[in-house]
Amino acid sequence: MKKIYLSCLALVLTIGSFAQTVVTIKDGDLVGGQTYNWTNDKIYLLDGFVYLEDGGVLNIQPGTVIKGKGTPSTSDLASTLIICRGAKIMAEGTKESPIIFTAEDDNLGSSPNLGVNDRGEWGGLLILGKARVGDTGGQDNIEGLPETEPRALYGGTEDNDNSGVLTYVSIRYTGAELQPDEEIQGLTLGGVGRGTKIEYVESMSSNDDGIELFGGTVNVKYFVSAFSNDEAFDYDEGWRGLGQFWFAIVGFDKGDQPGEHDGPEGTSTYLSYPQIYNATYIGPGDTAKSVKCPRVIHFKSKGSGVYANSIFAHFAKAGLELEDRPAGQGDDSYAIMLRDSIEMLNNLWYSSHWTHIDSIVTATAGGEDATASQLKAKMTGAWGNTILNSAPFISVGWGSDVLGQIQGNGDLWPMPTASEAFTNLATYPSDQFFTSVGYKGAFDGFNNWAAGWTGIDYHGFFQDHTSIEENGANFDFNIYPNPTNDIVNVQINLTESNDVNVVVFDVTGKMVENTPVAKLGAGAHNITLSAAEYTAGVYTVEVRTATASKYSKLIVK
pLDDT at position 332 is 92
Do 400 and 538 lie in one domain? The reply is: no
Dihedral sign (CA 496, 502, 503, 506): positive
Residue 44 forms part of a structural domain:
yes
CA distance 410 to 391: 20
Strand (E) or helix (H) holding 376: helix 373-380
Q: Which runs of consecutive H residues, i.e. helices, occur in 396-483?
A: 455-458, 465-470
pLDDT at position 286 is 74
Its domain, for residue 15, covers 11-458
Give the rounded percent of residues in the chain with a pLDDT score beyond 90.
60
Residue 465 forms part of a structural domain:
no
Residue 448 forms part of a structural domain:
yes
pLDDT at 283 over 90: no
Residue 469 forms part of a structural domain:
no
pLDDT at 44 over 80: yes
Which residues 6+ apart lie within 8 Å of 80 measured at CB? 46, 48, 49, 50, 68, 122, 123, 124, 125, 126, 178, 184
Do 415 and 507 lie in one domain? The reply is: no
Do 229 and 160 lie in one domain? The reply is: yes
Residue 358 or 14, more confident: 358
Question: Residue 63: left (phi > 0), alpha (psi -120 to 50), or beta?
Answer: left
Do 400 and 491 lie in one domain? The reply is: no
* Strand ranges for 112-258 from DSSP E: 124-128, 139-141, 153-155, 164-172, 177-179, 182-183, 187-190, 197-204, 211-214, 219-226, 233-236, 242-249
Give Rg (Cα) of the chain: 24
Least confident of 216-220, 231-235, 304-308, 414-418: 414-418
The domain that holds 530 is classified in CATH as 2.60.40.3080
Q: Which runs of consecutive H residues, i.e. helices, occur in 102-243?
A: none
Which residues 6+ apart lie within 8 Å of 288 measured at CB? 252, 316, 398, 400, 401, 403
Nearest-10 Cα torsion for 278, 283, 285, 291: -170
3-state class (DSSP) for residue 359: helix
Do 448 and 546 lie in one domain? The reply is: no
Number of domains making up the chain? 2
pTM of this prediction? Answer: 0.83
CA distance 512 to 538: 12
Do 117 and 52 lie in one domain? The reply is: yes
Residue 5 forms part of a structural domain:
no
What one-letter code names the amino acid at 528?
T
CA distance 183 to 495: 54
pLDDT at 488 over 50: yes
Mean pLDDT of 350-368: 91
By the 8 A CB rule, do 283 and 295 touch?
no
Intra-chain end-to-end CA distance of the chain, in Å: 65
Helix, strand, coil shares, percent, the chain, to 5: 5, 40, 55
Residue 45 forms part of a structural domain:
yes
Q: End of a domain among 430, 458, 486? A: 458
CA distance 155 to 138: 6
By the 8 A CB rule, do 49 and 86 touch?
no
Do 441 and 524 lie in one domain? The reply is: no
Do 121 and 217 lie in one domain? The reply is: yes
CA angle 13, 18, 24 (to 5 degrees): 35
pLDDT at 11 over 80: no
pLDDT band at 421 (very low <50, low <70, confident <90, very high): confident
pLDDT at 35 over 80: yes
Q: End of a domain among 399, 430, 458? A: 458
Measured in degrees and rounded to the nearest 5, phi and psi for residue 379 equal -60, -45
Give the rounded percent of residues in the chain with a pLDDT score beyond 70.
89
Q: End of a domain among 458, 487, 511? A: 458
Residue 3 forms part of a structural domain:
no
Mean pLDDT of 49-66: 98
Mean pLDDT of 264-273: 89
Residue 552 forms part of a structural domain:
yes
Which residues does residue 65 pair with via DSSP β-bridges, in sequence order? Answer: 43, 100
CA distance 1 to 17: 41
Do 415 and 506 lie in one domain? The reply is: no
Q: What is the pLDDT of residues 104-119, one digit of tens each?
A: 999 998 889 998 889 9
pLDDT at position 508 is 60
Q: Mean pLDDT in the chain? A: 87
Do 296 and 382 lie in one domain? The reply is: yes
pLDDT at position 311 is 94
Do 221 and 92 lie in one domain? The reply is: yes
Do 252 and 320 lie in one domain? The reply is: yes
pLDDT band at 322 (very low <50, low <70, confident <90, very high): very high
